[in-house]
Homo-oligomer: A and B are copies of this chain.
Amino acid sequence: MVRAGIVGISGYSGKVVFELLLKHSQARVTYVCANNTEGRLDQIWPQFKGRTDLVCAKFSVDKACELCDIIFLALPHTESMRVVPALLKKGKKVIDLSADYRLEDQKVYEKWYGHTHEDSKNLENSVYGLPELYREKIKKATLLANPGCYPTAAILGLAPLVATNHKAIQSMIIDAKSGVSGAGKKVVAELLFGQVDENFKAYKVLKHQHTPEINQYLSRLGERQVEVTFVAHLLPIFQGILETIYVQLNGSLSFEDITKIYQKFYKTETFVRMMDSGVQPEVKNVAGTNFCDIGLVLSEDKKTLVIVSVIDNLVKGAAGQAVQNFNIMNGFKETESLL
- Cβ of A224 within 8 Å of any chain B Cβ, yes or no, is no
List the number of copies, as a whole number.
4
Q: Which of B49, B50, B248, B339 contacts A51 (CB 8 A)?
A: B339
Residues A282 and B191 in contact, CB atoms below 8 Å apart: no
- Cβ of A285 within 8 Å of any chain B Cβ, yes or no, is yes
Interface window among A103-111, A153-161, A195-203: A195-203
Interface centre among A51, A198, A273 (most CB of B within 10 A): A198
| A232 to B179 CA separation, bound complex (whole angstroms) | 18
Known contacts A206-B306, A286-B47, A304-B206; is A200 also within 8 Å of B187 by CB?
A: no
Residues A47 and B244 in contact, CB atoms below 8 Å apart: no
Residues A285 and B49 in contact, CB atoms below 8 Å apart: yes
Type the 1/0 row for A200-218, where 1 means its CB is closer than 8 Å to any CB of B: 1111011000000000000
**What distance in Å separates the Cβ of A296 from its nearest Cβ neighbour in chain B?**
9
Residues B203 and A280 in contact, CB atoms below 8 Å apart: yes
Residues A194 and B181 in contact, CB atoms below 8 Å apart: yes
By a beta-carbon cutoff of 8 Å, the part of chain A in contact with chain B is 12, 22-23, 46-47, 49-51, 171, 173, 175, 177, 180-181, 185, 187-189, 191-203, 205-206, 229, 231, 233, 235-240, 242, 244, 246, 248, 270, 273, 279-289, 291, 293, 295, 297, 299, 304, 306, 308, 339
Known contacts A177-B177, A231-B244, A288-B288; is A236 also within 8 Å of B193 by CB?
A: yes
Residues A201 and B242 in contact, CB atoms below 8 Å apart: yes
Residues A198 and B47 in contact, CB atoms below 8 Å apart: no
| A48 to B141 CA separation, bound complex (whole angstroms) | 32
Which residues does chain B contribute within 8 Å of A295, judged by CB atoms?
A: 202, 205
